[in-house]
């Protein structure tokens, strides 16, 4: 267990430096070696930590962003904000962490889209969406727990793909894209809430027929 914890800590430590090297070396062993050199880590230990290849490097990078996000934007700090602003800030933090590493992101997305990697990529997306919702204060335990994470995961994935190709100044187009996606979801949630109102707040055909048959006196 101790070794597993220390290896995970090492992966999180090396992940940003690996991402910085990907533009030159790809998600390959050479990037791990470059990161180990820059961080003063034993190359053999670094190689061992990422012996499972590209997806293990990408997973560590995502986990590092998850951890940094939680440290920078704890739930208590977001609690006084509207829910859409909480989500926007959390996603924007993740995008800001990718600035200057767009090539690493593009290569990561391509690797994650490979058929053999889709299940692992889906789990990573779910984990990040769950982390964001928890920081946003979500406590749902019913089906909303799942629909919220699926929806946010879809928004985040679409925004990442847009960000990876965005050449606008300071990624302004990505921010606008994200705001539109969040607004669309908020409108959908409002519509869903109307449809799923408690029974006593919605039209009831059976109650209407009962009143017609037994009118109040």
Gap between the terminal Cα atoms of the chain: 74
What angle in degrees, to the nearest 10, is found between the helix axes of 83-96 and 118-135? 130
- Chain-centroid distance of CA 192 in Å reads 23
What is the distance between the alpha carbons of residues 126 and 30, in angstroms, rounded to a whole number? 29
What is the distance between the alpha carbons of residues 53 and 160, in angstroms, rounded to a whole number? 22
DSSP string, the chain: -HHHHHHHHHHHHHHHHHHHHHHHH-SSHHHHHHHHHHHT--HHHHHHHTTT-HHHHHHHHHHHHHHHHHHHS-HHHHTTS-HHHHHHHHHHHHHHTTTT-HHHHHHHHHHHTSGGGHHHHHHHHHHHHHHHHHHTT----SHHHHHHHHHHHHHHHHHHHHHHH--SGGGHHHHHHHHHHHHHHHHHHHHHHHHT--GGGS--HHHHHHHHHS---
CATH architecture of 72-213: Orthogonal Bundle (1.10)
> What tens-digit pLDDT sequence spans the chain (217 residues)?
445 558 999 999 999 999 999 999 999 999 999 999 999 999 999 999 999 999 999 999 999 999 999 999 999 999 999 999 999 999 999 999 999 999 999 999 999 999 999 999 999 999 999 999 999 999 888 888 999 999 999 999 999 999 999 999 999 999 999 999 998 877 756 666 556 555 555 555 455 455 555 455 4
Give residue 196's pLDDT. 56
Give residue 211's pLDDT. 53
What is the distance between the alpha carbons of residues 93 and 68, in angstroms, rounded to a whole number? 9
Give residue 191's pLDDT. 60
**Rounded-to-10 torsion of CA 13, 16, 21, 23:** 160
Give residue 143's pLDDT. 84
Model pTM score: 0.83
């Amino acid at each position: 267990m101790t070794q597993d914890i220390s290896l995970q800590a090492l992966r999180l430590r090396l992940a940003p430096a690996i991402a910085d090297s990907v533009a030159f070396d790809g998600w390959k062993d050479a990037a791990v070696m470059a990161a180990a050199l820059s961080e003063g880590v034993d190359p053999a230990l670094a190689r061992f930590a990422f012996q499972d290849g590209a997806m293990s490097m990408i997973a560590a990078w995502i986990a590092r962003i998850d951890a940094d996000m939680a440290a920078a934007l704890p739930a208590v700090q977001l609690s006084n904000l509207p829910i859409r602003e909480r989500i926007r800030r959390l996603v924007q933090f993740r995008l800001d962490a990718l600035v200057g590493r767009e090539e690493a992101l593009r290569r990561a997305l391509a690797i994650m889209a490979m058929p053999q990697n889709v299940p692992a990529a889906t789990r990573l997306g779910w984990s990040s969406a769950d982390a964001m919702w928890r920081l946003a204060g979500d406590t749902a335990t019913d089906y909303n727990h799942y629909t919220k994470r699926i929806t946010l995961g879809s928004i985040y994935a679409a925004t990442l793909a847009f960000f990876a190709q965005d050449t606008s100044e300071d990624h302004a187009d990505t921010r606008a894209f994200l705001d539109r996606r969040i607004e669309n979801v908020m409108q959908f949630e409002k519509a869903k809430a109307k449809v799923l109102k408690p029974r006593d707040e919605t039209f009831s055909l059976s109650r209407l027929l009962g009143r017609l048959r037994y009118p109040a006196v």
